[in-house]
C-alpha cells in the first residue's frame, strides 16, 4: 500500500514542519513523532476447509492526551505497520482538529477480504478482538470501520467484546449496524462531512458552488429517490479517484447536495472513466455493483487512475489510498481545489508543488473527519442509550466540520508571514491542542 514511499516518514516530516512554526521543545516533538503504544498480534483462525491460518494484525495507539484512542481497522493484503502508524498519527490530529475528546489510533490485519467467506470474516473479526481485548474499551481505545471493514464486521467485534465483558458494550466500537447500536448517518458520514467542508472551501475560494439547502440534511434513502440531473450554467467540474465508500458516496452526494456539480471522471482499482458531459451516479454505481468496476460503464472514455488526477477540473477528490499525488505528478494537477477524502493521498513534496501553484488542498484529517465525528456521536448515543434522527446527526456534523474549516483559515491568517499551506495550518490547530493537553497533564 505504501510502495516506495514511507507514509509514516511523510507524517514525521509534516510534524517537523509544524513543530518549527510552533517552536516545540525536543521532548514534546519526540513524543509527537512516535506512537505511545504499538501492538502486533498473530491470530489463529479456522478456515471453512478445516485448516488453520495465522493472520497478523496491528493496533497502534498513537497519543491519548485528549482522550481514549479512536480510529479504524483496515483489512488489506498489503497492510503494514508503517502505514498504520501514519494513519494512527493522522487520527490524533483529526480528533484534535474536530475538537473530539479522543486521541488517535489505527489498526489493521494483513488479509485479502475478497478471498474470505462471511464466516471466515466473522472468525477473524472475533479473533482480533480476543487478541487485543485487554487494550480495547469504551474509555481506552474505540475502533471503527476503514478500508474493507464494514458495519457487520464492527458488529461482530462489538459482540465478541460484550461476550468477554459479560454484558452489552455497544460503545466499544463505532460504525456498527443500526440494529446493534449504530448511528443514523454513520454510513455516509465521511462523504457528507466532506461535502460540508467542500461547501465552505468553495465559499472561501469563491468557486461558485451552488448549494441546495433543502437537501443538505436529507437521509441517503430519501436523496436516492432524486434522479440524476444535468447541471445548468456555471458548471463546477469534479474528478474523483477511488470508488469505495467515500468515493462513490462523494459522487452521489456532490451531484445531489449541489446544483451545479458535474462529475466528469471517476476511477477504481481497475482504472478510470471520463465523460465531459458528466457521469450519472445511478448508472455508474449500478455498473460497479453488477460488474465489480466502474470501467465497464460504456458511455465513457477509458483512462488510467493516474490520469483522473490530472484532468482540467475545478475540484479533485482523491478518495482511494495513500501516496497518489507525488513529486512526480503534482506539477500536472490542474484542479483549483483538492479535497482529500482518502487518508494520506499527497506526499510532502507534492504539497510544496501544489502550494506554489496556488492549489488549495483541504487536508485529509479535515476533509474526511466526518466519519470519526459521527463515530463520536454514535459513542455518545451508546453511552446515553438515547438515539438521534438523521437531521440531528447531520446538523451537528455540519457545525463541527464548518467550525474546523474556519479555524484552519484563521491559522492560515495567523501565520501569513510564513506562507504556510492549509495542511500545515490544520496541523497548527490540531497539534497545538494535543500539546496543550500534554502540558496540562504534566507529560512535558
Nearest approach, Cβ of residue 177 and ligand GLU (Å):
15
Residue 381 in the binding site for ligand GLU (CB under 6 A): no
- Residue 148 has, within 13 A of its CA and on its CB side, a CA count of 20
For ligand GLU, give the closer residue by CB, 107 or 280: 107
Nearest approach, Cβ of residue 218 and ligand GLU (Å):
22
For ligand GLU, give the closer residue by CB, 81 or 205: 81
For ligand GLU, give the closer residue by CB, 314 or 364: 364
Do 347 and 327 meet the contact criterion of CB atoms below 8 Å apart? Answer: yes
Handedness of CA 275, 281, 282, 288 (dihedral sign): positive
Per-position x/- string for 50-89, each x denoting binding to ligand GLU as judged by CB under 6 A, each - no binding: --------------------xxx-----------------
Instruction: Name the active-site residue from 106, 184, 336, 400.
Output: 106
**Residue 28: C-alpha distances to residues 432, 433, 438, 440, 442 (Å):** 11, 13, 8, 13, 11
Nearest approach, Cβ of residue 258 and ligand GLU (Å):
23
Residue 144 in the binding site for ligand GLU (CB under 6 A): yes
Q: Are strands 261-268 and 236-241 parallel, antiparallel or unpaired?
A: parallel
Round to the nearest angstrom and report the end-to-end CA distance of the chain. Answer: 34
Nearest approach, Cβ of residue 334 and ligand GLU (Å):
27
Among residues 317, 343, 349, the alpha carbon closest in space to that of 202 is found at 317
Annotated active-site residue 114? The verdict is no
Instruction: Name the closest residue to ligand GLU (Cβ).
Output: 72
Count residues contacting ligand GLU (CB under 6 A)? 13
Site for ligand GLU in 149-188 (CB under 6 A): 174-175
Q: Cα torsion at 292, 297, 302, 305 (round to 10°)?
A: -40
Residue 131 in the binding site for ligand GLU (CB under 6 A): no
Site for ligand GLU in 236-295 (CB under 6 A): none
Nearest approach, Cβ of residue 301 and ligand GLU (Å):
32
Nearest approach, Cβ of residue 180 and ligand GLU (Å):
16
Site for ligand GLU in 307-346 (CB under 6 A): 343
For ligand GLU, give the closer residue by CB, 83 or 295: 83
Nearest approach, Cβ of residue 51 and ligand GLU (Å):
31
Which range of residues in 11-19, 54-62, 155-163, 365-373 is near ligand GLU by CB under 6 A? 365-373
Q: Are strands 301-303 and 315-318 parallel, antiparallel or unpaired?
A: unpaired
For ligand GLU, give the closer residue by CB, 99 or 296: 99
Among 18, 136, 367, 372, which residue sits at the site for ligand GLU (rule: CB under 6 A)? Answer: 372
Among 64, 146, 187, 322, which residue sits at the site for ligand GLU (rule: CB under 6 A)? Answer: 146
Among 108, 371, 377, 394, which residue sits at the site for ligand GLU (rule: CB under 6 A)? Answer: 371
For ligand GLU, give the closer residue by CB, 88 or 236: 88
For ligand GLU, give the closer residue by CB, 127 or 372: 372
Catalytically annotated residues: 106
- In the complex, the residues that contact ligand GLU under the rule CB under 6 A are 70-72, 94, 144, 146, 174-175, 343, 368, 371-372, 375
Amino acid at each position: 500500500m505504501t510502495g516506495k514511499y514511507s507514509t509514516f516518514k511523510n507524517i514525521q516530516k509534516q510534524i517537523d514542519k509544524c513543530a518549527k512554526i510552533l517552536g516545540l521543545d525536543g521532548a514534546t516533538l519526540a513524543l509527537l513523532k512516535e506512537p505511545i503504544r504499538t501492538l502486533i498480534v498473530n491470530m489463529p483462525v479456522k478456515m471453512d476447509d478445516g485448516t488453520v491460518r495465522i493472520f497478523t494484525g496491528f493496533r497502534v495507539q498513537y497519543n491519548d492526551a485528549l482522550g481514549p484512542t479512536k480510529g479504524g481497522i483496515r483489512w488489506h493484503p498489503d497492510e503494514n505497520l508503517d502505514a498504520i502508524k501514519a494513519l494512527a498519527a493522522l487520527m490524533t490530529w483529526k480528533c484534535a482538529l474536530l475538537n473530539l475528546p479522543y486521541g488517535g489510533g489505527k489498526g489493521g490485519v494483513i488479509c485479502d477480504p475478497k478471498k474470505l467467506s462471511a464466516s471466515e470474516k466473522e472468525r477473524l473479526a472475533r479473533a482480533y478482538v480476543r487478541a487485543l481485548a485487554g487494550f480495547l474499551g469504551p474509555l481506552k481505545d474505540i475502533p471503527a470501520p476503514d478500508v474493507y471493514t464494514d458495519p457487520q464486521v464492527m458488529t461482530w467485534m462489538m459482540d465478541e467484546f460484550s461476550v468477554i465483558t459479560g454484558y452489552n458494550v455497544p460503545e466499544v466500537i463505532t460504525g456498527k449496524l443500526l440494529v446493534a447500536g449504530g448511528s443514523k448517518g454513520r454510513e455516509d458520514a465521511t462523504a457528507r462531512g466532506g461535502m460540508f467542508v467542500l461547501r465552505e472551501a468553495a465559499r472561501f475560494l469563491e468557486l461558485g458552488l451552488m448549494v441546495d439547502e433543502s437537501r443538505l440534511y436529507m437521509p441517503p434513502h430519501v436523496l436516492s429517490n432524486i434522479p440524476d440531473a444535468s447541471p445548468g450554467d456555471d458548471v463546477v467540474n469534479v474528478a474523483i479517484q477511488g470508488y469505495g465508500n467515500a468515493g462513490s458516496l462523494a459522487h452521489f452526494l456532490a451531484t445531489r447536495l449541489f446544483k451545479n456539480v458535474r462529475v466528469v471522471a471517476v476511477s477504481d482499482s481497475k482504472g478510470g472513466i471520463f465523460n465531459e458531459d458528466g457521469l450519472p451516479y445511478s448508472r455508474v454505481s449500478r455498473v460497479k455493483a453488477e460488474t465489480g468496476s466502474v470501467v465497464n460503464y460504456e458511455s465513457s472514455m477509458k483512462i488510467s487512475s493516474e490520469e483522473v488526477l490530472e484532468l482540467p477540473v475545478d475540484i479533485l477528490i482523491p478518495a482511494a489510498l495513500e501516496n497518489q499525488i507525488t513529486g512526480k505528478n503534482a506539477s500536472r494537477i490542474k484542479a483549483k481545489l483538492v479535497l482529500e477524502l482518502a487518508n494520506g493521498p499527497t506526499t510532502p513534496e507534492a504539497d510544496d508543488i501544489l502550494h506554489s501553484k496556488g492549489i488549495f488542498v483541504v487536508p485529509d484529517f479535515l476533509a474526511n473527519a466526518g466519519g470519526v465525528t459521527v463515530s463520536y456521536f454514535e459513542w455518545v448515543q451508546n453511552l446515553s442509550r438515547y438515539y438521534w434522527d438523521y437531521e440531528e446527526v447531520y446538523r451537528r456534523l455540519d457545525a463541527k466540520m464548518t467550525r474546523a474549516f474556519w479555524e484552519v483559515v484563521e491559522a492560515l491568517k495567523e501565520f501569513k508571514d510564513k506562507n504556510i499551506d492549509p495542511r500545515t495550518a490544520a496541523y497548527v490547530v490540531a497539534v497545538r491542542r494535543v500539546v496543550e493537553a500534554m502540558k496540562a497533564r504534566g507529560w512535558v
